[in-house]
Amino acid sequence: MDEIEAGFTKIMQRIEETQAQGTGLSETVKKHEGELLKRMAASAIPVVKVVGLNLLKIGKQGTKNDIYDANYYTEKMIILGKAEQPEAVRPDDPNKKVTDQFCVLSEKGKFYDLMYSSDGFITDSFLHPIDPKTAIGVYGYDVILMLYTAMHDYLKSEKALVEALDTVVAYIFGKNTDQKMSR
């Protein structure tokens, strides 16, 4: 019985040590969360250029809330989060109420609040630059998770494309495709 108690005590000590180490590391990550997001954004630039969208800058709103005569931002962006409580008004024009607010990452690696306003006739937007720490403060850790997920999904689709092309090339040149397909 003494061996069991000694082993149990040793396990409990290791659990406590591991928890203390985990808490310390968590605090370090929290302290440097802005730097983490900034570095992730810099690494994601090539992918944002490929998978990013040209988001609406301004457009006329039709009777069925459809947008026509639309003008889009030329820089591609990916959406990382939506504000639960958007700002009351836009910083560029205090007369414009913000209806929707999103955190976006541009193809240049910059973070923005993308604020949309609508008066029933015109829907327009304002890109408000923010730093990574502010992005986390406003949108939460979702921005880190969404950026990670976007890169992970992009990698999976690229791998699938390369495997499919590899199979097609093997088929074209009459190579044994059974070996390729078993990967």
- Per residue in 96-112, pLDDT tens? 999 999 999 999 999 99
**pLDDT at residue 123, as a whole number:** 93
Bridge partners of residue 71, in order along the sequence:
58
Q: What is the pLDDT of residue 91?
A: 95
Instruction: Summarize the chain as % helix, strand, coil (round to 5).
Output: 50, 25, 20
List residues bridging with 90 in a β-sheet: 93
Q: What is the enclosing helix (H) or strand (E) of 168?
A: helix 142-172
The whole-number average pLDDT for the span 7-18 is 81
Domain ranges of the chain: 1-31, 36-181
Burial tier of 172 (Cβ tally within 10 Å: 0-12, 13-18, 19+): exposed
The rounded Cα 2 to chain-centroid distance in angstroms is 53
Q: Is residue 177 scored above 70 in pLDDT?
A: no
Give residue 1's pLDDT: 63
